[in-house]
Structure 1
């Protein structure tokens, strides 16, 4: 098997892993939005396994690129493709993989925001239960937050 075919197959494997990861991240979004946390652990486990496979495949790709005397950077990879495959088939294939990576990155960011919103919701609930009405923060003359000395009664004291 020639190097172009091997590298192309490696990109295909990476692309399949990324598509699988994208599917899992969409499921993760659904689970986070529905707050059905019981469904989250299997998704996270499978996600971790996919990420490990992606890292292994990326390591192989890095070895090929660096073995040909190029840095594993966008510029080095572009030179590697020009040398190895003047038809630009690999370069086009690589672009498809990069697009999948960018979609997963956006999903990861969006899921992170969902998690942060959930964390803030829990923190607010805990503050309310402890008697902090959430309105007690004011600002000093320098614009820095300043907690009010007057606190609401806790639920247990009410």
Structure 2
């Protein structure tokens, strides 16, 4: 198998893995939004396996590019593609792969924000249940801030 075929197959494999990861991230978004957290573990396990496979493909791609005396950077990869495939087929597939990676990064960041909002919501609920309303500020008749700690009450004391 020549290098262009091997590299092309590796890009296609990476693209397939990234598309699967994108689907999993969308499922994760639905699970987080619906709060069916019991279904989350299987998604996380599948994501981890895909990431490991992607790392293996990326390591092989890096090896090919560096073996041709190019840096594994966007500029080095373009030089590698130009020398290997003047028709730009590899470059076009690589661009498709990069676009999928960017979408997955955005989904992953969005899911992280969903998780953080949920964590904050739970923390606030726990503070309220314990009588600490956290960051709320009250004012006395003279317009001065008063500390809510001496005024807070737990549900059991309310």
TM-score computed with the length of structure 2 as normaliser = 0.90
Task: Please tell me whether residue 136 in structure 1 is matched to residue 136 in structure 2.
Answer: yes
Q: Which aligned runs of 4 or more in structure 1 are off by greater than 6 angstroms?
A: none
Cα deviations by residue, 1:127-147 (Å, 9 ceiling, x for unpaired): 110112345358xxxxxxx96
Aligned length: 151
| Structure 2, unpaired ranges of 5+ | 139-145
Which residue number in structure 1 is paired with residue 105 of structure 2?
105
Which residue number in structure 1 is paired with residue 123 of structure 2?
123
Pair 150,56 (structure 1): closer, same or farther in 2 beyond 3 Å: same
Secondary structure of 2:150's counterpart equals: coil
TM-score computed with the length of structure 1 as normaliser = 0.90
1:155 deviates by 2.0
Quote the RMSD (CA, aligned, Å).
1.6
Within 2, Cα distance between the matches of 1:69 and 1:39? 46
Within 2, Cα distance between the matches of 1:147 and 1:104? 45
Within 2, Cα distance between the matches of 1:71 and 1:135? 51
Pair 135,60 (structure 1): closer, same or farther in 2 beyond 3 Å: closer
Cα deviations by residue, 1:67-120 (Å, 9 ceiling, x for unpaired): 000110001000000111111110001000000000101100110111011011
Which residue number in structure 2 is paired with residue 95 of structure 1?
95
| Structure 1, unpaired ranges of 5+ | 139-145
